[in-house]
Structure 1
Amino acid sequence: MAITTQQLIQWKQQQRPIVTLTAWDYAIAQLLDAAGVDIILVGDSLGMVALGYETTLPLTLDEMIHHASAVCRGVNRALVMCDLPFLTYQESSQQAIHSAGRILKETGAQAVKMEGGYPAMVETIARVVQAGIPVMAHVGLTPQSVHQLGYRQQGKTPEAGEKILLEAIALEQAGAFAVLLEHIPAQLALQITQKLSIPTIGIGAGVHCDGQVLVTADLLGLSSRQPPFAKSYANLQETITQAVQEFSGEVRSRQFPSQQP
């Protein structure tokens, strides 16, 4: 049975941690779903890991829809959620509703994720939720603001931490079903998690969040560089390189295909 946003909120109450990973195509999505992942995020990180952009900023809505559609075709159980790409929701609430609506209509995803907790974004998220579209909010380090924030940890001073806490509270009040906390101090993440009745999903935010997310390319060891808070559970770069080199050697030495009797 497919996971719902209501189920995620129940899991927070039950203190059952929520597992989130990213996917960018059908094959990866199938594997993650079969392995029992709770949320599959079609993150704008696909702009870097699948399309080769330097940052997430160039990714378009059409590219997101193309990849999210493939992901949804591979998923039966997990909740599929999509990032709204840069400048597809920041201009106005009408633009955000249109972009989020296209994702739900054209891909089969159940929710979207939007970065930022400033007052105008809180109002936009409220309007998107009122239109019937589930939204996960995202505060702390927001990669679409890379040219403004860089990739530094956020919320390190008491004032900065208080600002992020107040943003998270406002986003819950706006109707977000969960909040992603990226690259903030663990103690601040704990404070936010205890304050909210909706789940917090952490990445580089310590152990106290209601769930954790990683970019799957980082987890599998496919990334050329990864953030310090990521962990690789495999080294597929090495495995794939060795397999390709072995195949190449066999072709060049005429060992592949094997001689038929």
Structure 2
Amino acid sequence: MILKLQKKKLDSLFKVDTSSWPDSLVKANLKLKGIYYQRIFKLDSSEYYLRKVIKFEKERLELSPFNLYNLAVTLKKKRSYKTAIDVLNDAQIIALRTDNLKALGIIQDELSSVYSRLQNYQMALDLKLRAINLIENSKPIDTISLIYAKHNLADLYFKTKEYQKSAELFIQASNEFKRINYMPTYHLANTNLANTYIKLEKFHEADSLIQMSIEWFKEFKNENYINYALETKALLLFKQNKLVASSRIYDSLVNNA
């Protein structure tokens, strides 16, 4: 909501001549629009504005690794994985040259995410562990980035079938998201934990978590998360040999797709 209000205020200045604006304001204008469009999945617009930020910085020989990172996030969401890796590698070079451990940790965390999308899980895991080490050793510690990195590490352990490690980290992440009141991500972590419990055949624990998450997602009308949670519920029912109930959920998901 805050981002949307900031974007609206910037749009009101759209016809104003920006030639007299200080560089910092021009960059903030372009960056905010790029991130706003990224959040609402207007990804072509996001890429347009984030590339304008980078072009603006290049002309002034002050390229920021964080703006390259922002562009890479948009490219990943567009499934332009090869280009995202190239951009993140450029960002790594700048972060290393400037000894910016905070930026390097966040960049390697995003690289891990891209390699995970490409199903290169070993590379993703190596990068994730390095990223977490960098984030933990940067001052001050970026607590939010660290929580997300450990949540995503749990997902990688799930994908590499290390389910006990995955469950332990999802529990930690869930507790941390609740502590900082990130409730959508808290319930997402619980849904991921439920999936892990299904693999561990802890069906009662999985059912309690998934039921709570489904109710919360429905109350706040988050369609993507609702569908993911319902799919997890259907899988749980299938594993419990409740085939009719499971099929009913799968059919509703297909019909509503």
Same fold (TM over 0.5): no
Give the number of the structure whose residues are more often strand, by fraction: 1
User: TM-score, normalised on structure 1?
Assistant: 0.28
Give the number of the structure whose alpha-carbon radius of gyration is greater: 2
Where relative contact order (Cα < 8 A, 6+ residues apart) is larger, the structure is: 1
